[in-house]
Chains A and B, each alone.
Chain A
Amino acid sequence: MDLDFTAAEDAFRAEARAWLAAHVPRAPLPSLETAEGFAAHREWERTLAAGRWSAVSWPEEFGGRGASLTQWLIFEEEYHAAGAPGRVAQNGICLLAPALFAYGTAGQRARVLPPTASGEVIWAQAWSEPEAGSDLASLRSTAVRTRDGWRLSGQKTWSSRAAFADRAFGLFRSDPDGTDPDLRHRGLTYLMFPLDADGVTVRPVGRLDGKPAFAEVFLDDVLVPDEDVVGEPGQGWRVAMSTAGDERGLTLRSPGRFTAAAERLVRLWRERADPADTALRDRVADAVIGARAYRLSAYATASRLAAGGSVGAEASLNKVFWSELDLALHETALDLLGPFGELSDTAAEAPGHGRWAEGHTFALAGPIYAGTNEIQRDIVAERLLGLPKGRR
């Protein structure tokens, strides 16, 4: 058993660190949940892509570096330690691309991946519907066959990034008989569509702090060509679930993000805390320990995968862990800030350029998206502990 990096991994880390030191913007970008910030973050994606750092896990032919999971973890540690901006292109790079690698055609990969890597096309997710949240398989939006493609109708909601994104991917019901409770996972088709197509109406929805972080997407007879179906028609559930584990697990929220945040929290604590306040001290320590545990757990996962193992329902443990860690860490930061903890990230005097406030708002959503933590706990109990299925 060891925790040693190879010489090649050390060199990879050094290269990433040097590039980031030279390129990360000195001042934080405006919030990516605003039009101005979205554009600035898209520009940053272009810079990343020019350095071939936007999608390190992808094969080289699509602009990646063919990075192993361990190299990706290293890159993420360096990325967040450098204080680099949030990733506006994450939906496309971490969710759509793995589906295309697993189920897409060569033509789709050649057409879709390069502009996704460069930030030219930013993707939104289109899973949830007003009546289909945790129970995603009850979704009702339809895809009806036309002569040379599909006609989409229905309503998607809580679509992350959709207020400003270019395209979206999601699930549609292509077999109307599939509403039978026993058959509803069948007859779903995974489709990509442009958000500026005829028949698409995007209504931005403000999140808790008012920023349009997501949107409702109304589809009214939107025509989509066959080439934008990912995987086989009717097999969309399987395609979507193949990447659900990625989202819940490591690739959505890398350990480097929390390690860097915990380091900033410790600095904040040293600057601001009353040393006699041991209750607060304990919470800071727990954030540090939690970030460390998540990082080490990721290295154990990388080792297991390298040894031929696989990751299944364990991704659900990860999702609960990082989302609760993120929230606890930011709650602790706001508590350390005392009267400044209530300042919005837009306040001129917001500590840390508003980063703690924005991070806290973002963290509040963690237990909900990518499958609520209640659903994840059900999955853990049923698939990892073998407890009987019951009513949700």
Chain B
Amino acid sequence: MRFLPDAEQREFARSLDGMLAESHTPGVVRAWAGGDHGPGRALWARLADAGVLALAVPEKHGGLGPLPVELTVACTELGRHAVPGPLAESVAAAALLARLDSPRAFSWLSRIAAGTALVSLCAPAGGSPYALDPDTADAVFVVDGDTVRLAREHGPLQPSADPARRLARPVGGAVLARGPEATAAAAHAVDVAALATAAQALGLGRALLARTVEHVRRRTQFGVAVGSFQAVKHRLADTLLALEFAQPLLSAAALALQAGDPAAGAAIAAAKVTAGEAAHTAARTALHLHGALGYTEEFDLSLWIRKARPLRDAWGTPAVCRARVLAAGAPG
């Protein structure tokens, strides 16, 4: 057993972290939230060059995957830097399309892998009637019962609590696939989306913790660093604790998906609720330990804080995940 990322996976994470740190994502996020997708699409192109978008696309369709472990590694780093865009939706769409026996579906895969097409996915089974970022996506795939469609257009944008998440209902469109095969492919896609979202949440939570630790070390009140107060320390210790115990659940979920384990769905649900709650708590802690500063929109921390709750709830709310863990039976 070697239940640790290998050297290559660690290096992949380090290089993405370095690349994203240099990309000044706060500016990219603010532009995206304002409807200017240019800088974001340019960043996505660089991520595609780094291979991120090929991880869920099978090799025979021009990808590198499916590589769920590497996918969680990458999504964690994108979450850490609050990268905007339909990340979980893209990789889940790739997982969906690869399982449909349809040349039209396949034709999208190489474009997703190469980054020439940015796609989104809406599956009410995933818990939401909205598609993420349909206004910039080149395609929005919709799962409706046993039918997979390519949406024709989308309804009016519904602003999210996280302005960088642009939501709208997909409308109409041609049928790509229908039947049990489509249903099975969609269930798999929802699992992939949940795994990717859990990884993003974990990375987001780690960034919130790191920024808050930095702040409380520097900020002084009553003549000392506020980080020397026990009440502050203990909230941060609890935040680290929650994130640290989410990590192995996430890794195990990726391995289960990779192995085609029938319990993969439950493992993903466990990782999703744990990482989602950990990030959500991290956001609350970050907000409050930054004081009024954390409550301001202009402070960049807000870009991370506002993402935490939507990521916790997307592709499986905590309640849905917990029910799924128990539906699958005993722990293991």
A and B associate: yes
User: Would you call A266 and B319 a contact (CB within 8 A)?
Assistant: no
User: Would you call B240 and A317 a contact (CB within 8 A)?
Assistant: yes
Query: Among A259, A284, A385, which residue has its beta carbon within 8 angstroms of that of B236?
Result: A385
CB distance from B331 to the nearest CB of A (A): 5
Query: Among B241, B245, B325, which residue has its beta carbon within 8 angstroms of that of A288?
Result: B325
- Nearest opposing residue in chain B for A293, CB measure: B245
Query: Among B9, B213, B248, B273, which residue has its beta carbon within 8 angstroms of that of A386?
Result: B213
Residues of B within 8 A of A387 (CB): 213, 216-217, 225, 227-228, 232-233, 236
Contact with A along B109-128 (1 / 0, CB 8 A): 00000000000000000000
Query: Among A259, A307, A374, A381, which residue has its beta carbon within 8 angstroms of that of B4?
Result: A307
User: Would you call B252 and A321 a contact (CB within 8 A)?
Assistant: no
User: Would you call A388 and B252 a contact (CB within 8 A)?
Assistant: no
Contact with A along B201-236 (1 / 0, CB 8 A): 000000001000100110000001101111011101
B184 interface residue, CB < 8 Å from A?
no
A6 to B2, CA, bound (A): 11
User: Would you call A381 and B274 a contact (CB within 8 A)?
Assistant: no
CB distance from B309 to the nearest CB of A (A): 18
Query: Among B217, B240, B323, which residue has its beta carbon within 8 angstroms of that of A388?
Result: B217
User: Would you call B274 and A293 a contact (CB within 8 A)?
Assistant: yes
Residues of B within 8 A of A292 (CB): 249, 252, 270, 331-332
Q: Known: A288-B331, A289-B273, A378-B233. Contact between A304 and B4, CB under 8 A?
A: yes
Main secondary structure of the interface of A (DSSP, over half): helix
CB distance from B2 to the nearest CB of A (A): 5
User: Would you call A1 and B244 a contact (CB within 8 A)?
Assistant: no
Q: Known: A2-B1, A386-B217. Contact between A296 and B331, CB under 8 A?
A: no
B19 interface residue, CB < 8 Å from A?
no
Contact with A along B1-21 (1 / 0, CB 8 A): 111111001000000000000
A147 interface residue, CB < 8 Å from B?
no
Q: Known: A1-B5, A297-B244, A321-B245. Contact between A390 and B251, CB under 8 A?
A: no
Within 8 A of B (CB), among A334-364: none
User: Would you call B234 and A377 a contact (CB within 8 A)?
Assistant: yes
B326 interface residue, CB < 8 Å from A?
yes
Contact with A along B26-53 (1 / 0, CB 8 A): 0000000000000000000000000000
Within 8 A of B (CB), among A138-187: none
User: Would you call B241 and A1 a contact (CB within 8 A)?
Assistant: no
User: Would you call A388 and B227 a contact (CB within 8 A)?
Assistant: yes
B139 interface residue, CB < 8 Å from A?
no
Within 8 A of B (CB), among A206-221: none
CB distance from A304 to the nearest CB of B (A): 6
Q: Known: A285-B326, A380-B241. Contact between A300 and B227, CB under 8 A?
A: no
CB distance from A102 to the nearest CB of B (A): 26
A263 interface residue, CB < 8 Å from B?
yes
A162 to B230, CA, bound (A): 34
Residues of A within 8 A of B69 (CB): 1
Query: Among B5, B240, B326, which residue has its beta carbon within 8 angstroms of that of A384?
Result: B240
User: Would you call A259 and B3 a contact (CB within 8 A)?
Assistant: no
Q: Known: A3-B252, A263-B331. Contact between A289 and B325, CB under 8 A?
A: yes
Residues of A within 8 A of B236 (CB): 381, 385, 387
A278 to B227, CA, bound (A): 38
User: Would you call B2 and A303 a contact (CB within 8 A)?
Assistant: yes
Contact with A along B159-172 (1 / 0, CB 8 A): 00000000000000
CB distance from A25 to the nearest CB of B (A): 23
21 residue pairs bridging A and B, Cβ less than 8 Å apart: A1-B2, A2-B3, A3-B1, A6-B1, A266-B326, A278-B319, A282-B318, A285-B322, A289-B331, A290-B245, A296-B248, A297-B248, A299-B1, A300-B247, A302-B3, A317-B244, A376-B237, A377-B234, A378-B233, A381-B234, A387-B217
* Given A377-B237, A382-B233, 17 further pairs, Cβ under 8 A: A1-B4, A1-B6, A266-B330, A292-B249, A296-B3, A317-B241, A317-B244, A320-B241, A377-B238, A380-B237, A381-B233, A381-B234, A384-B237, A387-B227, A388-B224, A388-B227, A390-B233
